[in-house]
Amino acid sequence: MTDTGSRGPLAGLLILDLTRVLAGPYCTLNLADLGARVIKVELPGSGDDARQIGPFMEPPIDPASAYFSSINRGKESIALNLKDQHDRSIFNELLSSADVLVENFTPGTMAKLGYSWEELHVRQPALIMASISGFGQSGPYSALPAYDIVVQAMGGILSLTGEKDRPPTRVGVSIGDLAAGLFGVVGIQAALIDRARTGLGRHVDVAMLDAQVALLENALARYQVEGQVPKPIGSRHPSITPFGAFNARDASLVIAAGNDAVFGRMCDALDLPGLPSDVRFSSNRARCQHEPQLRYILEEKLAQKDILEWLEILRTHGIPCGPINDVAAVMEDEHLNARGVFLDVPLAPGYAMKMARTPVRLSGEARVRPSPPPRLDENREAILAEFIGRERRAYFLTPTPQHS
């Protein structure tokens, strides 16, 4: 464990990060935000594939990819080719000091490189290795390639998202990658707790497809109880009514009346006192069965005022509700800004980009203020100076032809 003096609950942990694109980098981003030191090992010449994914910012900003920057802040970069003996020697030195190794190659790749879990566990019993892949380290799909849209489709999420009787709709963020990355964080921290007890590392195996299935919650239960395959129903909740988006005079807002008491207060707020005693709406089960009729009544009333007026009225009565914000509105939201959700990360002199912090907040300690995302191989000299013995440093500071 290396103490770098950084703040955060994971300060002192050294994470060696072989990941690229999104699921793995999002995992290590959250670890970095919580105080861990993350050294990103990239392919010489091109680096992480995400460096070539837009949107792109104008020079002199480097890295130019805003996409790459948003998920790789607070990390260090060194370019190494693990098929080259010179670079493998450097990697082995770094590995000997690491607490956690994170990779998201196709299963079997690490073994071909000579870094299988079995080999590493013998060499370095306390090391934790996290493997994030499309389909996991075992099973008939394990060798197949995967992207977010593939696991959303295969994991059932795509079949549930969108409006009724409309084509399947992808979730608007890469939930396949993001969920796997977050489950990777959970698995790594569980392995760290276990290591504190046993002194031994664990292999954390997270599959994007598994993560999607873990998010199905209500759909899995409904299929088994009701015997019907769940289908898209728009913004509605399948088991709670009213719960969804409703049209007011000028725009739409969301209202969630999660139980009979809240429904009664909502009816008071909307001046619809007769609804709770109407047999069609007197219980949540009845409301779900008569959702179209209830929606018609509610929207007829909501059409009399703009959403800002309704939000004030509904919130006064303690009704869960909110506007449907676009991204611009989210970034301007007074509550989010008051809580410091957005972090200004400097990318070049006079230029910073707002990024969302990790939402995990712990008492008694300031959260880590991350450094800018690294340029490819930016930290090579400093990393080698720290981890490689002085008598060997001059050799390692001279890059192989792949670094040129």
Q: How far is 239 from 222, CA to CA, in rounded Å? A: 9
- Percent of the chain residues past pLDDT 90, beyond the cut: 89
Q: How far is 259 from 257, CA to CA, in rounded Å? A: 6
Instruction: Read off the pLDDT of residues 116-140 as tens digits, 9 standing for 90 and up.
Output: 999 999 999 999 999 999 999 999 9
Which domains are delineated in the chain? 14-215+341-403 (3.40.50.10540), 243-247+252-323 (3.30.1540.10)
274 class by beta-carbon count within 10 Å (0-12 exposed, 13-18 middle, 19+ buried) = exposed
The amino acid that residue 236 corresponds to is R
Contact criterion met (CB below 8 Å) for 131 and 107:
yes
Block residue for tokens 């739409």: 252
**pLDDT-based confidence at residue 389 (cuts at 50, 70, 90):** low
**pLDDT-based confidence at residue 4 (cuts at 50, 70, 90):** very low
Give 133's strand partners.
Answer: 207
**pLDDT-based confidence at residue 1 (cuts at 50, 70, 90):** very low
* Catalytic hit among 86, 121, 237, 317: 237
Instruction: Read off the pLDDT of residues 247-288 as tens digits, 9 standing for 90 and up.
Output: 999 999 999 999 999 999 999 999 999 999 999 999 999 999
* Residue 5 pLDDT exceeds 50: no
Q: How far is 33 from 54, CA to CA, in rounded Å? A: 23
Q: How far is 236 from 93, CA to CA, in rounded Å? A: 54
**pLDDT-based confidence at residue 3 (cuts at 50, 70, 90):** very low
Stated pTM of the model: 0.92
* Residue 393 pLDDT exceeds 60: no
Q: Is 237 labeled as catalytic in the residue annotation?
A: yes
Instruction: Read off the pLDDT of residues 62-92 as tens digits, 9 standing for 90 and up.
Output: 999 999 999 999 999 999 999 999 999 999 9
Q: State the chain's mean pLDDT as an integer.
A: 93
**pLDDT-based confidence at residue 362 (cuts at 50, 70, 90):** confident
- Helix 260-269 to helix 307-316 angle (10° resolution) is 130
